[in-house]
Structure 1
Amino acid sequence: MRNDIIQNACDNALVVNTAASDWHGVATHVLAVETQGLPSRQDEIRERLLAQHGIYDRDGQIRATELTLRIKLAYSHGQPCVPELRNAEDETLLAGLYSLVEEGSLKTRILFASVSADTLMSPEIEYLPQQNVVFAVHAEVDDVPTLLPRIKHLIECGYRVVLDETGSDEALQPLVAATQAVRVDASRYDAIHLDSMLRSLRAMGARQLIAAHIRNAETLEVSRQLGFDLFQGAFVTQTGGKAGVDVPVNRLRVLELIDRVMAHTDMAEVEALLKMDAVLSYRLLRFANSAGCGVVHEVTSISQVLQQMGHGALYRWLTLLLHVSGKSGSTGQAVLKRALTRACFMQALAGKSLQPVNGDELYLTGLFSVLGEMLNMPMQDAVASLNLGSAIKQALVSGSGTHAGFLELALACEENNETRIANGSAQCMVTYIDVNIALINALISAEEAAL
């Protein structure tokens, strides 16, 4: 694949880099369309060009659908041809809207179309049906004198207009108050700044607020708690706009982690804190596996995830988590203590076994062995959102593989079953003395963790 074409993993749109040295600005969209000698159907071509993404309300109902390009042009604002490139994208988008109108397939559907300020000024957009189309436009402060009368005119004609991806600059207040809604990129902010922006926009007269680019459960839950009205993004589409039920995390532990991350503490120290908590570790791995986080490889250790995320992404996740967390009850604490005991026990035996085995993988296997119980669902479903290494997942889901033997030994120790302990020790190639020492140290570690 050429260097000037890259795949955007967040929204599955192909991005063409127009700033590449070998791009001459002639062709922007190339599609492989099999016609077999027959005229191409309009709906097939439109399907190849355009994608549709639901926008959900707080009850999980689709309120509108956004029409977006499957192929997008990547360009810097310093390029002289930026207006022409953006207009070309808008023309493709509007052509798709016109074709849907011609087919008569819109009926009562509401479609969002993100367009440039120049396109919004065009009289041609007024041929689209007012009851079906919502225009979303990004505006700078310099655009206010030009856009404000145009937006008011469109609203008088029956159209709806959304202010797209705006900040909370007070100079934009006339546009915020005039439009029907403001859309915010929720993935760009931590919970504190997201809350501050929402308050500012409400004070500026925003009628509705849309949280966009939601890629994980934490961002969706925080957006709901802060009072956003509508939600969209990869995670929202996957879950139907409803936040799942999560086991609460220990707020004191989260605050301690935030303090360490803000001080740019070495990741090894952060890892040591995280590894003591099964819920935090589970939610970290689930967040790391969400769209746009950047962790793309199979996970075999907490350290691997932390190094790929870095302090910035980790801080944003922790602030989101702080807003949706609470103190777990006594039953939950008992389960977490059991998980930590298993994890420490299994990791300790990795260094004593006569067979080669990864201690970090054994730790995660033990730590996540209670996920089904914590989440009240089958283990296979519990680990589905985690990109765990195959050996870990095999042990947890099917109870097979080398790691499963160490987990079986941990379970045997919990039940104090002498026969199973003897058989498990032999299978894991560890001595009975090593098992006893590892178990005592694991119990001490779990008690000292103050879960």
Structure 2
Amino acid sequence: MLKKLFGGLLGKDKPAAPAAEARPAPAAAPAVAAADNAAPLDQVQSLGFVAHQPLQDKSQRVVAYEFVVKASLGQATSRAHQRTFDQLLLNTLRNMNVFRLLAYRRAFIHLSLASLDDLAAQDLPLASCIFVLEAQEGDVLDDALLARLDTLRQAGWRFATEPARFGSWSSALALYQRMDYLVLDFAAPNTRALFPLLEQLPQRFSHLRWLARNINSAEELALCQHSPGSQHFALFHGSYLGVAQPRSSKKEAPNQGRVLEIMRLLRAEAPPASIEAQFKLDSLLLFKLLRYVNSPINGLARKVQSIEESIMLLGRDNLFKWLSLLLFTVESDSGAAVTLMEKSLIRGRFMEQLGLLNGNRLEAEHLFLTGMFSMLGALLHTSQAEALAPLDLPITIADALLNNKGLFAAPLQLALACENDDSERIASLCAAQRISLEQVTGLYMDAVVWAQEVLTESDVQNNVEGV
């Protein structure tokens, strides 16, 4: 139903494909938490929870995810152990069917130089993956290693690396020549010393593109945008990109205040005449409503031309959902807004599926709205309390969103922990809610894929081919 609502909202007339079913059993950086830290590496078949960290292009649309094993897990010290750990990461990504993400996104996967010999035997979607190579003590950038890289590149493999991890190795420039991306991490202590590279490397290697990690302020983003060779910065990651940026225009289409007022009237069980009056005050909103109601996905035998009949056919609950999604599409031409919308859809779907585990459909519906509205303040460029005030939401939703309390607080916190890759928090919340890590992994990745399908089928598309 939600895909249909979203598709009708944006004018898609074809029926939407069914959402992916949740399966019991989704980066320093993204992370993978070990399923059993007590087990030897060679006995662990896969890692427990895999989260993704979004990478955005210059328009701030999510086009890729990054996956890496946290160094703090501390088990992979030798080259042999690191190779085993890398294999565990790839096995886990396969077991989760994470590569289904790559129909809509690209993946940056961290691997050690020690694993180069293993790559040729891996069955991976090469066109959609970039492998971020990391050095360990004892690694040597010799002719043999460079030759292995050349062979892999000729077979279609793509690579990235972070110059800060290679120190003053004289052969590092030969490595960079074989890379597709270089990584500049603004959280690394020696990042400032790398700034001369921003002038030198683009001149020497014009094909190189830069991935800027941990952009946590407007100043750091501005540095990427205006530094020498800034045109080579192609991808960005960081907390600053996870919030709505100031509007460049006050234009609203349709009027967000009108949408919020109609939602408030629906929650207050206002008579149809009051709701109809609000639609009549916004011609664009009325047009969108009639276009959705009359779209083929609703299968009506005749054309509906009145607001009252539209409300009757949709029902108040479905109309409320439709308006909820409309709030998140008024700035669909803005990359930052699309990123917020995608994150909200992931949260909503994930929380909805958590509710369905308990077999309570009404609770699941309310959990979906909790996730969807969790970023409403950021989207509307106001406080969360002000954004939610007109909606008169059920106390369970409002208490979770405004006070982090009540029945829905724990599911929301679990969604945030998954999003932020907080493995300790995920484990404690799973235990408190009696959910396994495998279930959470499956539900979260399903939610990520579902959100991408919704956006893609609704003509909200990101340019992943440019990665």
- Asked if TM exceeds 0.5, the reply is no
Larger radius of gyration: 1
TM-score by length of 1: 0.40
Question: Per chain length, whose mean CA-contact separation is higher, i.e. which structure has more relative contact order (CA < 8 Å, sep 6+)?
Answer: 2
